[in-house]
Each structure stands twice: as structure tokens, then as C-alpha cells.
A = this chain, B = another copy of it.
Amino acid sequence: MRSPTELTAAFRLQGLKLTPQRQLLFRLLHGNTVHPTAEALHAQASEVMPGISLRTIYQTLNDLAAMGELQLVSVGSGPSRFDPNVDDHHHAVCIECGAVVDVYVHNLAVLRVDGLAGFQPETARLVFSGRCQRCAAASGEPTPPKHR
């Protein structure tokens, strides 16, 4: 995702208006690596701008995703997460605390895959599940979930 300043210009170019709500979300998302849910962003935004609507959060997130500034990440069950990192990358999910981190795979094309005959793949999404460093260290005393 580009910087708030660049997004401001991009939104104007598309005839979209620059509201305080949107600018706040630009700031909350820029450089954000925690893969927040819409609810989490709403909670964060509400601290700064009480009364901001969850509906607006969804709206803006969808706008950003449609512009390719944001990637939707769905990791099994639970609400969608939003990732301002739109590089070609994958994810690892902690089964204890729900944390999601970006991972990069350098040689996906080397995989030998059976059963794709006739199928024209466009994308491949890889999701690791396991325990993050914190939760693996504190096993037996798991960190409480950050989301939900």
C-alpha cells in the first residue's frame, strides 16, 4: 500500500473524496503488519474518531482493495484480515493467538503437483499453521487471542 499522501492523490484522481475517516484509515493501515480485521481497525479508529461507523471501515477497506492497495487475507475461519503488503507473499497463522505474519517463498514454481491437469492456475496461496515464537515459548500458558 502506498503512503497516505500518495493515496490522497490516487483517490482524488479517481474522483473519490478525501474525508477525515479515509485519511485516518490510510494512516492506520500504512506500514501495518498485524493483518487487522475490520473490527480491529474500527476499534482503533474509534479511539481517535469516536462515532466512526463500522460500515465506513468496510467501505474504505473495499475501496482500497479494489484499487489494489490492500490484500484480503482469509485464514480458515473467522473474519477477513486486511494486508497493506501487496507484494507476492504468503502467510503463517498462529493457532494459539491468531497472529498472522508474512512469509516469502522463493521457489514456488519448483513444486511437483499432481491433479492440475487441464487446470489453468492464476494464483497460489500458501498458509502455514503452527505456533508463533511467543506462543511456542509460553506453551502451557498461551497468549490470549488478539482478535475475536
Contact = CB atoms under 8 A, between A and B. Distances in A.
6 contacts: A74-B77, A111-B126, A118-B136, A121-B129, A123-B128, A123-B130
A106 interface: yes
Interface of A: 74, 76-77, 80, 92, 94-95, 101-108, 110-133, 136
Nearest to A76: B74
A113 B123 CA distance: 17
Nearest to A75: B74
Nearest to A114: B104
Number of copies: 2
B133 A118 contact: yes
A101 B123 CA distance: 15
A123 B119 contact: no
Contact of A107 (B112, B117, B118, B130): B112
The list of the 9 closest CB pairs from A to B, nearest first, reads A118-B133, A103-B115, A121-B130, A104-B114, A122-B130, A121-B128, A106-B112, A120-B131, A120-B130
B122 A125 contact: no
Contacts of A94: 119
A124 B122 contact: no
A95 B122 contact: yes
A123 B128 CA distance: 6
